[in-house]
Amino acid sequence: MLRFLLKLNALLASCWTFSRLLYRLHGTRLIGPPSEPVWYFAYGANMHDSAFRGWRGMRPLEWRPARVRGYRLRFNLGGRLRGRAAPANLAEDPRAEVWGVLYRITRRDLVRLDATEGVPWWRYRSLWLEAEDVNGDMLCAVTYIAQGDEDDCRPSLRYLTLIREGARAHGLPDHYIRLLEQVEHGKYPAASLGSRHSRRPMIPTGRTRRLRD
């Protein structure tokens, strides 16, 4: 049902006037013309083409590997049923960094992407930050962040595979891919993830290091 509502919202988001009204009702507003390009930083399943270009229907103008300092990767949002558990999230950590993919998309596509992620009316919210690409250039980009739980859950193997394959396909550094490979996947039904009977999973922290390591 949730997936259907997200798809419906994405369809409605194709109307710019409706989108402006929707954002205004949620205390925010759309800035800039719909054709203006912006950078979006993906750090979870959206790094995989089957998710970003396939299910979400995005058509990026270009992409490049990048990192964001001062945050670390977490899986502390709880999950949905049928193996789609513990979505990725960001948490502030001045000693850490998160690698991902910068996609250049139009503001209209960003609104459609917002809709598939439940922004601005559900769990995630937009966050503008500075991302550093592999050439050392700093770019202003938007990403998604949510108020997560204190403890991390175990993401499903399917979800982790999307993240790992997307990271490899887009040329993220080997040391970061090794960190992703250390994340434990869930071995229990999604409904039990994060319960008091679940052992807290190991989520490695990506400490800041030089770009060309």
Domains in the chain and their CATH numbers? 2-192 (3.10.490.10)
For residues 103-110, average pLDDT: 96
Please state, in angstroms and rounded to a whole number, the distance separating the CA atoms of residues 40 and 19. Answer: 19
Each residue's pLDDT tens digit, 153-209: 889 999 999 999 999 999 999 999 999 999 999 874 433 333 333 344 445 555 554
Q: Which of these, 112, 110, 100, 107, lies nearest to 45 by C-alpha position?
A: 100
Contact status, residue 42 vs residue 140, Cβ threshold 8 Å: no
How confident is the model at residue 32, as a pLDDT? 79
For residues 100-117, average pLDDT: 94
The larger pLDDT score, comparing residue 126 to residue 204, is at 126
* Beta-bridge partner residues of 126: 144
Burial class (CB within 10 angstroms; exposed 0-12, middle 13-18, buried 19+) of 129: middle
For the chain, give the mean pLDDT.
81
The pTM of the full predicted model, rounded to 2 decimals, is: 0.79
Q: Which pLDDT band holds residue 48 (cuts at 50, 70, 90)?
A: very high
